[in-house]
Amino acid sequence: MSTTPPKIRLIIIGDEILSGRRQDKHFAKLVELLSQRGLQLGGAEFISDERAVIADTLRRSFRTGDIVFCCGGIGATPDDQTRQAAAEALGVELALHPEAARLIAERCADNERRGQGSGDMSLPENQQRLQMGVFPVGAEIVPNPYNKIPGFFIQDHTFMPGFPVMAWPMMEWTLDARYSQLHHKQRRVEHSFLVFKLPESRITPALEELERRWPGIKAFSLPSMGETGHPHIDLGVKGEPEAAALALEFLRGEAIRMGGELNPPQK
């Protein structure tokens, strides 16, 4: 049996992100939440809210066995197509989830107590709100502490609204309630240093040799055109702590041996 943990991915759904009308905030937040738990993001995808596109993306995604967070498109207006696309991708029907219906009714009652509408669930507007609890058959709810209207979870895919105030607590709950067994299972570190007066082409063979010597360690090279005043490369390693320390020492030595300098040139 493989002990490799599943990959964790993010899917952002919405034309407003692709057009630039809104800026995505979920990517950075999920990276932060994962890092706090000793986990890392394995990929991200931004797609339109066209149902066929969402369904095709999810059809492929459900086959991977990855842990996936999907943000956007689970409301009840015509441009919200994620619930329908998820059901299509899974080949199942949509149905009103009884717990979601209870929570939505609770929300409507809360609004009535605040003088904001009616709690009568037979009214057309409240019947429309119940559509937000229509999920693919077999889905479980994801609690939403902001306004009680839940997201849904099925086959390791968590579906949330696009609003950060709702999505972020739902991400956090999912990571802690469903995947706590994965937290801090892998000890990983990342180390880097800046090197000046060294072309990236010259250090590349050393990066390749490093990964041959320490197979579990990943080397990286991030050149800068001189935002700090001098062109430089951010060289580093990431992976298991003991091996990473040895690999970093090797890389630093190679950078110096090839003529690189660890301090910026004096003006």
CA distance 207 to 204: 5
pLDDT tens-digit series, residues 96-153: 999 999 999 999 999 999 999 899 999 999 999 999 999 999 999 999 999 999 999 9
CA distance 182 to 120: 43
CATH 3.40.980.10 in the chain, residue ranges? 8-182
Segment 10-25 shows an average pLDDT of 94
Q: Residue 3: which pLDDT band, with cuts at 50, 70 and 90?
A: low
* Beta carbons within 8 Å of 5's beta carbon, 6+ residues apart: 39, 182, 185, 186
Could you count the other beta carbons within 10 Å of the beta carbon of residue 206? 18
- CATH no., domain 189-257: 3.30.70.1130
Which tokens belong to 6? 């599943």
Which SS3 state, helix, strand or coil, does residue 246 take? helix
Amino acid at 146: Y
Segment 46-75 shows an average pLDDT of 97
**The domain at 8-182 falls in which architecture?**
3-Layer(aba) Sandwich (3.40)
CATH 3.30.70.1130 in the chain, residue ranges? 189-257
Amino acid at 140: E
The residue written with tokens 């809104």 in the block is: 22
Which SS3 state, helix, strand or coil, does residue 159 take? strand
pLDDT tens-digit series, residues 234-263: 999 998 899 999 999 999 999 999 999 998
State residue 1's pLDDT score: 41
Query: Beta-strand (E) ranges in the chain?
Result: 8-13, 43-47, 67-71, 94-96, 134-136, 140-142, 151-154, 157-160, 189-196, 218-224, 232-239
pLDDT tens-digit series, residues 167-187: 999 999 999 999 999 998 877
